[in-house]
Structure formats: structure tokens, C-alpha cells
Amino acid sequence: MTQYILKLFNTQTRKKEEILPSDGKTIRMYTCGPTIYDYAHIGNFRTYVFEDLLRRTLKFFGFEVMQVMNITDVDDKTIKGAIKNKVPLKTFTDPFKKAFFEDLKILNIEPAEFYPEATAYIGEMIKIIQDLLKKEIAYVGLDKSIYFSIGKFPNYGKLSRLNLKELQAGASMRVIADEYDKESVSDFVLWKSYDSVRDGDIYWDSPFGKGRPGWHIECSAMSLKLLGHTIDIHCGGIDNMFPHHENEIAQSECYTSKSFVLHWAHSEHLIVDGKKMSKSLGNFFTLRDILKKGYSGPQIRYMLLHTHYKSNLNFTFDGLAGAKNTLQRILDFINRLKTIKEEQEVCVVTPFIQRCKDEFSLALADDLNISSALASLFDFVRDINVLCDDKKIFKKDAIRVLEFLADLDKVIGCLSFNDEEVPQNIQEALDKRQIARKEKNFKKADELRQYIESLGYIIEDTPQGARVKKK
Ligand code: AMP
Ligand code: ZN
């Protein structure tokens, strides 16, 4: 069997590089997870679907993957939400955490091995900060918060290729907010000293006084603790590159004196009218908003999946309807194969399967080129449909094709192989209609069709016989 190896674009080196487990066994991968202060929007899910495609592809190629996705349950936004709603932090964040896991299931995103919550790792964060203070890389500010001195880390800016000298000329000395842009490149906060107005009664005790961690140290602490000092892949949306990932590198490498991440992978954004979908711009849809409009999890997943992760994906409802139709073509094909019952010892599909599998895998191996991988699947569907039209496909071959599609679906994750449950009364009416048609009793056949339609199903007459599906 051919061993495929994924060549993935590395944001740090700006080159496609092979992904192999550095410990010879398991690919260790960290994915920045949600901040649970609200429902995640489908822009966030574009990134999580990309990470899911990466994970599934590595597994499809035969590698073991150990993935961590953190849950940010303390930061500026969660604290603000808890205070505004006058509830404890956990009471505020828990429903959003629950919703997030429900959404992952709806989108058929494979579970990661670990979902650490930041609040359970405060001790680890304190340990790192103490070490950085001892090394005089971190310092206590006038506000008693602790800052990371970027001037002490010569590699600062290596990921986002910042020209530090130029940027620092006009920049402020330090920044306490979790999120900021390149214009504000400066020393960043590791520990925020307690402020009763800002923090209510949310704080942790530490050797440097009451307070709470900055957002960036959270990911470093969880990654180092769960995956070790040097990991294979670290992912996120491209907006995470600066400052979040840049700061993660600085803290972690100063703490361990080792390379933090071998391969950085960032996906481009889901955009609306040319702008990044985001809470702050208000141009977002949650998964729930889209489900309410009648779209299903697999249809939304397909829409988020089908464009290469390094291109912006422009969200429109027309685009979503297009994704729905495209997916339906594969599902119709699957249903068609399922109706083939005639048995004959002929086998014609093997070369088609082999070719499609090669093309599909090669496309994925080339920086997760999912659009090209899906194109090879559509070529395959077209070829096998022609064979079906020519009555050259019998039951054994149909089963082989279905098994092959199930194999590809380990990566795609949108194709349903469960037989759609057809209620008994509808199946009986369909059988009676078939008999009526055979007996040329078209009036009765028509009445039965109307009856089936009145129950929300439609009949499809295919060369292999009639079948029903939900309207
Ligand atoms: P946040 O909860 O804002 O930290 O975002 C969680 C993840 O979603 C991060 O990896 C972000 O980079 C990603 N993300 C946020 N907005 C978008 C978007 N419009 N398109 C793609 N990914 C996004
Ligand atoms: Zn992170």
C-alpha cells in the first residue's frame, strides 16, 4: 500500500513541509479552542473544520494523532460576561461550553484527545511565570501586573516576521488587553493583578498576589503540560498568529529553552462582504442560526470544508445552497447504489476505485487540497453513474463502491451511510404503487403517490426501481 505523507504549509518557514511524528510514533497537535463567552460562530467553525480535516487526513494516512483543544474559560470576555450577568464565572461559561460540544457533534468534528480548561491549569501558569520572573524575562509593572519583556527574547516576531525595531518606535511600552494588533506590539501581560471593578470577585491567589492569567500564557501552559516541550503542529485561524501565537512562542521557549512548535498551520478566514466574520463586527451567524434556516450539519460542514484552507471563504446563503446541492448529488449516488440488488459475478469498479483513491490522497497530501480531492470524487461518481446507466454495476460492485465511499468519508465526514428510515406505512404504499403500475392501474398508482407525498416524502423512479426520500 502506498504510504502518503502530508506536506503542509508551515507559516513559520513559509514552505510546505512533511508532517511526520517527531517522536517516531504520534503526531502531537495543539489547536487553539473557543473562548466560551458566547456561542461559537461559523467563522470559528471554519477553523475547527480545517483542523478536523488535518487530523482526519493524518489518520487516513495511517498516523496516530494526539490532539489538544483548549477551552478558554477565563479571559477578559468571560469575566466581563460573568460580571454583567451577576453570576459566578463557571455558571456563565458552562452553557456555552455545553453548546460548543453539541455544535462539534452536529458538524461531525472528531473529538480531540484532550479538552483542557484554562482554569484547571492556573498552577502550571504560575510555575512558568515564576520561572520567567527568576530569569528576569518577566517583570512586575507599576500596576503590579506581570509582563513579558519582548526585548529579552531575540526571536520575538519570528512567526509573523515583524520588524520589531520599526514597530516599537511608535508603540506603547506594554499592553494589558488579551487582544491587540501589530500596531500595539509591546510587552504583554502574563498575570493581571486583581482589579475589583474590572474583575468583580474573580481572582486566583498566587505568589505575586491576587489576580488572573493573561490569555496567551494559558495555551503555553496547557500545551507544555499535555504534549511536552516541543510539539509537531500548532494550529489556529490566521488572526491567532499575532499576537497570540507569537506570545506563546516567546513564553514557552524562554521557559523550556527548546523549540516550542515544529510546524505552524493557520487557516484563512470565513468572510462576509469582504470582512472577517466576527462578533465585534456583528456580521456573524452561529451554527444554530443556520440550522434554524433548515440546513443540516453535513451541509454546513461541506460548505466550510470544500474550499482550500489557505483561501478566504466567502460566506453567502447562495454558496450554502450550492454546497447543499453538491452534497446531495453524492447522497443520491449513494442511494442509487443501495438499490442495486441484482447479483452477478462481474467486477468492473476496481480500477476506478484505485484511481480515485490515489488522486484523492495525492490531493490531500499536497497541503490538504480538499477541492482537488473532492473533484476526483466527482469524476468517480460520474464514471460509476455511467456504468450504472449501462447496467454494468451489480450488487457486489455496488457494495465495493459504498465501502470505498465510507473510507473516503473518514476524511470528508459529510456522507451519510445510514439507511434513511422509511416508515412502514410509506414502504407498504410504495410497494402497492409498484404493483399498481405493473398492472397498469395508473389511477391507483397516482393516488398512492399522492398519499406518500402528503406524508412528506417524494418518490424517485430509477432504473433500479422506485425509492422514497424525505421532501
Ligand atoms: P476565538 O474564540 O475568537 O479565540 O476564536 C476561536 C478560533 O476561531 C480561533 O482559531 C480563530 O482564529 C478562529 N476564527 C475567528 N474568527 C474566524 C473567521 N471569521 N474565520 C475563520 N476562523 C476564525
Ligand atoms: Zn491559543
The string of pLDDT tens digits covering residues 3-20 is 899 999 999 999 999 999
Ligand that comes closest to the CA of residue 96: 1
CA distances from 466 to 78, 197, 279, 331, 336 (A): 54, 68, 48, 16, 10
Atom of ligand 1 nearest to the CA of 244: 4
Per-residue pLDDT reduced to its tens digit, 93-139: 999 999 999 999 999 999 999 999 999 999 999 999 999 999 999 99
CA–CA dist 128, 255 (Å, integer): 6
Tell how far the Cα of 73 is from the centroid of ligand 1, in angstroms. Answer: 16
- Rg (the chain; Cα; Å): 27
Atom of ligand 1 nearest to the CA of 240: 12
Residue 219: which pLDDT band, with cuts at 50, 70 and 90?
very high
Give the three-state DSSP class for 29. Answer: strand
Percent of the chain with pLDDT over 70: 96
CA–CA dist 132, 129 (Å, integer): 5
Domain 316-412 architecture? Up-down Bundle (1.20)
Atom of ligand 1 nearest to the CA of 47: 22
Q: Which CATH class is domain 7-287?
A: alpha beta
CA–CA dist 246, 188 (Å, integer): 11
Query: Is the overall model pTM greater than 0.85, yes or no?
Result: yes
CA–CA dist 10, 17 (Å, integer): 7
Nearest CA to ligand 1 atom 11: 237
Locus of grid cell 451511510:
417
DSSP for 74-143, written as a single string: SSHHHHHHHHHTTS-HHHHHHHHHHHHHHHHHHTTPPPPSB--BGGGGHHHHHHHHHHHHHTTSEEE-TT
Residues with CB under 6 A from ligand 1: 32, 34-35, 43-44, 46-47, 236-237, 239-240, 269-270, 276-278
Tell how far the Cα of 379 is from the centroid of ligand 2, in angstroms. Answer: 39
Tell how far the Cα of 237 is from the centroid of ligand 1, in angstroms. Answer: 5
Nearest CA to ligand 1 atom 12: 237
Q: Which residues contact 9 (CB under 8 A, 6 or more apart)?
A: 15, 16, 17, 265, 310, 367
Most ligand 1 atoms within 8 A of CB, residue of 37, 233, 239, 315 to mutate: 239
Q: What is the DSSP letter of 184?
A: G
Atom of ligand 1 nearest to the CA of 239: 12
Mean pLDDT estimate for the chain? 93
Ligand that comes closest to the CA of residue 277: 1
Domain boundaries, the chain: 7-287, 316-412, 424-470
Give the three-state DSSP class for 461. Answer: strand
